[in-house]
Amino acid sequence: MSENPDAIILGAGAAGLMCAAQAGQRGRRVAVIEAADEPGRKILISGGGRCNFTNLHTAPDRYLSANPHFAKSALSRYTPADFLALVEAYGIAWHEKTLGQLFCDGSARQIVAMLGDEVAKGGGTVHCGHTITDVAHADGLFTVTTDQGRFRAPALVIATGGPSIPKMGASGFAYDLARQFGLKVVEPRPALVPLTLSGEEALFRDLSGVATDVITRAGKASFREAALFTHRGLSGPAILQVSSYWRKGDPIGIDFLPGRGTGWLLGAKQDKPRATLLGLLKDALPDRLAAVLAERLALGGMLAGLSDAALRDAENRLADWRFVPNGSEGFAKAEVTIGGVSTAELSSKTMEAKRVPGLYVIGEAVDVTGWLGGYNFQWAWASGWAAAQAL
Ligand code: FDA
């Protein structure tokens, strides 16, 4: 097999399919090369099978990158409303679950089918099950050799994602390829990932399965969502969010009673002097969590018998309980990867490599990482769309 399109796109994931569809519909002949047997496998498992395909609150400050301004251009030119219009044009039913997160009512398969139809509409071809054996660049042409053939084009788009969930075939292929072309890569690390606890804090692992609404903090970032205790440590949306900002050795803070004003415990001492701390915690939190926190605070007996200083101290600890995770569950469980091909190497308008004309990098492979909640797909759509306008 030999094909000579206008552009070769490596990876039939979210970004690659969007780019292929748009470029094709602009009249470019595109060939997409995919290692897996089917396109869009991460889309299929996303959002618990319902694909949280965008977020209404998309804004550049909800993305992490060495250059926080980089994502602005692409995000402003292809918005959540643009993707939603496409979803609606295909009659795909959707709903807002929470915090601006839009999900399919039915199945993520509808999103993959829609993107496949869009690629076909533009006349693009998708070649699945290809193992790429070589990528070369000479005389203004990129040549991609696979176990099944050879593709040659003046433009090459790297859309092979990041290394999270290696059991699905994810790898650092994009970074290796970028380095081959002399592009710098910001060190990748797992993000949106459960954190693990050991030592003293292992006690909290006994709460496996307990979930509660909290505020989590790491550095300047804070999130109010659910946290979940697991047999290895901490998970749930609030923890996944904060994990992206967490660095090994740093603490994370958890407010177990968000919304309580300063002095609430002293107020309780006045209003209910015969109440116990355990009783108060049980009124607000799952019983097992209340018991562990009360045990740690070691303030037994009625509130009336406890000093104001001790109650103030307990209140402060409950509002900012410090955990020092000993690690994370790594790329095996990370929803995305922070880091990737350095934004300093790319045009924020077209995603083209400044030093290698004709080479583009889009999607998760780039050092742009969104919050949990549809932000990462929105980046994939927007960066894929931006590159497609330039192909
Ligand atoms: P993506 O990973 O989608 O695509 C890359 C493609 O390249 C894949 O098809 C892969 O097989 C292919 N490939 C890799 N190496 C190759 C090679 N050597 N040769 C050829 N092809 C190769 N985000 C969100 O916004 N909402 C959500 O609901 C979720 N849910 C979610 C759940 C889970 C379990 C995970 C792991 C991730 C999410 N995400 C998410 C994140 C989201 O899936 C991710 O950000 C996008 O898929 C990134 O899109 P890309 O196209 O960049 O990579």
Q: Is the pLDDT of residue 252 over 90?
A: yes
Confidence (pLDDT) at 162: 96
Q: Is the pLDDT of residue 203 over 80?
A: no
CA neighbor of 21 nearest in space, from 156, 151, 123, 154: 123
Ligand 1, atom nearest to 41 Cα? 9
Edge-to-edge strands, sheet with 125-127: 125-127, 30-33, 7-10, 155-158, 359-361
| H or E segment and range at residue 212 | strand 211-218
Q: What is the pTM of this model?
A: 0.97
Regarding the beta carbon of 173 and ligand 1, being less than 6 Å apart is answered yes
Round to whole Å and give the CA distance between 387 and 349: 8
Q: What is the whole-number distance in angstroms between the Cα of residue 14 and the centre of ligand 1?
A: 6
Round to whole Å and give the CA distance between 370 and 4: 35
Regarding the beta carbon of 14 and ligand 1, being less than 6 Å apart is answered yes
Q: Classify domain 2-190+336-390 by CATH number.
A: 3.50.50.60
- Report residue 199's pLDDT band, with 50, 70 and 90 as the boundaries: confident
Regarding the beta carbon of 34 and ligand 1, being less than 6 Å apart is answered yes
CATH class for the domain made up of 195-328: mainly beta
- Report residue 205's pLDDT band, with 50, 70 and 90 as the boundaries: confident
Round to whole Å and give the CA distance between 9 and 153: 10
Give residue-wise pLDDT tens across range 35-50. 999 999 999 999 999 9
Amino acid at 80: P
Place of tokens 């990370």: 334
**141 by DSSP, 3-state: which?**
strand
Regarding the beta carbon of 336 and ligand 1, being less than 6 Å apart is answered yes
| H or E segment and range at residue 360 | strand 359-361
Confidence (pLDDT) at 206: 85
Q: What is the whole-number distance in angstroms between the Cα of residue 320 and the centre of ligand 1?
A: 35
Regarding the beta carbon of 135 and ligand 1, being less than 6 Å apart is answered no
Q: Which two tokens stand for residue 109?
A: 């398969």
Q: Is the pLDDT of residue 150 over 80?
A: yes
Round to whole Å and give the CA distance between 382 and 371: 15
Q: Output the residue whose Cα is nearest ligand 1's atom 4.
A: 13
Q: Output the residue whose Cα is nearest ligand 1's atom 36.
A: 335
Q: Is the pLDDT of residue 204 over 90?
A: no
Sorted by where each begins, the domain ranges of the chain are 2-190+336-390, 195-328
